[in-house]
Amino acid sequence: MKELLFIAAGFACLAASGAEAQNRNCANREKVVARLADGYGESRQAIGLGANNQVVETFANLESGTWTVVVTMPSGITCLVASGKAFELVEEALIPAGEKDA
């Protein structure tokens, strides 16, 4: 599940540009992180590197289940990509291809 979220966010950040970073869903990273912490009790749960050195992060509140995916541009501008409810930390072992049908 967590991996699918990053894949979806990665595709979304491929289209991000400087012009999009000026919309109302973007701000300086420090402001976005503070808003997620203060307003929703969310802290960073996962991080990855997307296209063009964009950092993709998932923030979540493990008690309330709210979550937010953000993309930070190399310039330091952070944009909200997606948000929702019912976040869960999931660790699933990869099943080798030959054992899937067994």
The pLDDT tens digits along the chain (102 residues) read 444 444 444 444 444 444 444 556 999 999 999 999 999 999 999 999 999 999 999 999 999 999 999 999 999 999 999 999 999 999 898 888 877 665
Which secondary structure element, helix H or strand E, spans residue 60, and what is its range?
Answer: strand 55-60
Cα separation of 72 and 45, whole Å?
A: 15
Cα separation of 28 and 30, whole Å?
A: 6
pLDDT score for 83? 97
Cα separation of 96 and 63, whole Å?
A: 33
